[in-house]
Each structure stands twice: as C-alpha cells, then as structure tokens.
Amino acid sequence: MNFYEKTIAKESIYNGQIIDLEVHDVELPDGQKSKRELVFHNGAVAVCALTPDDEIILVRQFRKPAEKTMLEIPAGKLEIGEDRIEAAKRELEEETGYIADDLQLITEMYGSPGFSNEKLSIYFAKDLKKGQMNLDADEFIELDNVKVDEIEDLLKSTTLEDAKTIIALQHFLLNYNDYK
C-alpha cells in the first residue's frame, strides 16, 4: 500500500528563530482529505562524552516546555548550513568546556515525526581536552557528570526524562568495551 500523503495546500502560521509552523491540507492514500500541523526545525546535535576520569558529561538545564530542570547530555541546535559534526563539537565545548577532536555517530533520529521534522544526530566522544565554556546569553547550565559504573542505576531510576540522553546512555552501556 502507498502511505504517501500529498500536500494540496499549506499555510505558514509562524516563522521564528528556532521553528516555523505550518498547516498543510493533505490527500490521504485512500483519497480522503485531512490537515497536518507541522513544526519545521533546522535540526539538532547531542554528544555523549566520556571524560578521562571515566565519567559521562551531563548538564542540568531548565526546560520551559517541561517546566522543570532536566538532566541531559550536551546538545544544541544546528545553525543554517552548519555541518552536524562541527555543530556537535561546538555545542560540547560551549556547554561543557571540553574539546573533542574525534566524534563517532551513535544514531540519527526524529524525536516526534508525527508533527516535527527535527532530526537529531547523537555522537560519542572521548579523549577530551579542556577548552573554554561559552554559554549563550540566555543559557544557564550546570555540569553534573556521572561515573560509568553509576549509569545503569541512573537509567533504572526516574531521574532521566530526556529521550536523547536515555538512548545515548543505553547505547554507551551496550558498547562500553568498544569505547575504552
């Protein structure tokens, strides 16, 4: 069966600095009509980084949509035209003060493909060097590293609620011997 939805018309609702919103009128595979509310985002990157002290770097940051402070791996949005690996290196240094010369792709994913085109690339980094933390003016972050032998307990707790962090840490544990 063909699952393709043909866009018949679209209306731009909002064009912002981070997202654009549109409503599309679509024709469904069976010929019926429907509406789709879509969020367009340039994409994002995240880094699961292992320090020389055998710790994974996590950051605490208030997330307005969730109305709470969350524990996450370092992450950020892509600038228009920016290379994903370079963006990941930039975000890691800006948020943590660590530099990674070599990043390995863990996965690329769509967090909410039912309404958003945001594609997230998650990388792994080790052999870190000290750099310079450089937060955005509206960014408030606290580092909260976790020792490798504490990750499994952290994953079993209800502390982590961020999908990219859960995926990255589970991947790390499954592949830990390859990352040493």
pLDDT tens digit sequence for 74-101 = 999 999 999 999 999 999 999 999 999 9
More confident residue, 167 or 135: 167
Residue 122 is part of which domain span? 43-179
Residue among 20, 7, 15, 8 nearest 116 (CA): 20
- As for how many domains the chain has, the answer is 2
Decide: 84 and 75 in contact? Cβ < 8 Å: no
Is 164 among the domain residues? Answer: yes
pTM listed for this prediction:
0.92
CA distance 89 to 101: 8
| Residues 63 and 121 placed together within one structural domain of the fold | yes
Q: Is the pLDDT of residue 176 over 80?
A: no
Average pLDDT estimate for 51-77? 95
| Residues 78 and 19 placed together within one structural domain of the fold | no
Q: Which residues contact 166 (CB under 8 A, 6 or more apart)?
A: 155, 160
| Residues 36 and 59 placed together within one structural domain of the fold | no
